[in-house]
Amino acid sequence: QVQLQESGPGLVNPSETLSLTCTVSGGSVSSYYWSWIRQSPGKGLEWIGYIFSSGYTNYNPSLKSRVTMSVDASKTQFSLKLTSVTAADSAIYYCARDRVGTNYGGMDVWGQGTTVTVSS
Amino acid sequence: SFDLTQPPSVSVSPGQTATITCAGYNLGDKFACWYQQKPGQSPVLVIYQDNKRPSGIPERFSGSNSGNTATLTISGTQTVDEAVYYCQAWDSTSVFGGGTKLTVL
């Protein structure tokens, strides 16, 4: 059974870069899309973007200029970088397996989430 | 991209049917998904491809999608179903609705 675990700093200084990693256990990153989603305190879900195992990416237009995703199949990990962060980027960040395709199947496996606070 | 609109809250009595809507332009042309999120937990996929249930999701959860509205129906609602429900659709990018707090009382 595939499980996901987010990791990374819980505190990031304003204007710096937020970096998170999602480790996939019980399966491979190959042939799947992997998404990052965030949830600001008391708010709803916001899709940040996804990466395919080949490295193909697709980002939320509202964040595109600040987001970079990468994948390391050998380590069964994929990563998120968000630059020039502000307090508005403080949120719980989730990684999820995303069944992207003509017959879109939703995000069927989620990590437990990691809380990131942007503050000096 | 597009927007998805959900009612902020829905209330239902135990054993009754809960209906949560999700509105978006031509949403019926896309596949809709629904997620359940309980406090302090990660979202859980409860409906995908408009009306399919993942393994382990009770039969009381069902979905439909037509025109501009997708609907999540919970038949015989139980207290354990109290949660926030999010709709989501994908059309080259993913969009989530704002979430609906389902209260069972």
Do the Cβ atoms of A107 and B88 come within 8 Å? yes
Locate A67 and state its tokens.
């987001």
pLDDT for B50: 97
Is the CB of residue A106 less than 8 Å away from at least one CB of chain B? yes
Position B67 pLDDT exceeds 90: yes
Read off φ and ψ for residue B77, nearest 5 degrees.
Answer: -55, 135
Closest Cβ opposite residue A94 in set B31, B42, B99: B42
Strands (E) located in B1-105: 9-12, 18-23, 32-37, 44-47, 61-66, 69-74, 83-90, 94-96, 100-104
Q: How confident is the model at residue A74 (pLDDT cuts 50, 70, 90)?
A: confident
Instruction: Centre a 10 Å sphere on the Cβ of residue A101 and count the other Cβ atoms it contains.
Output: 10
Closest C-alpha to A16, from A91, A81, A79: A81
Mean pLDDT of chain B: 97
Closest A-chain CA to B46:
A108
pLDDT tens digits, one per residue of B73-84: 999 999 999 999
Do the Cβ atoms of A113 and B96 come within 8 Å? no
Q: Which of chain B's residues have a Cβ under 8 Å away from the Cβ of A112? A: 42
CA dihedral sign, ordered B92, B33, B28, B84: negative
3-state DSSP assignment of residue B28: helix
CA torsion B94-B97-B98-B103 (nearest 10°) is -130
Instruction: Centre a 10 Å sphere on the Cβ of residue A120 and count the other Cβ atoms it contains.
Output: 9
Do the Cβ atoms of A45 and B99 come within 8 Å? yes
Asked whether B32 and B51 are in contact (CB, 8 A), the reply is no
Is the CB of residue A47 less than 8 Å away from at least one CB of chain B? yes
Position A120 pLDDT exceeds 80: yes
pLDDT tens digits, one per residue of B12-28: 999 999 999 999 999 99
Asked whether A97 and A2 are in contact (CB, 8 A), the reply is yes
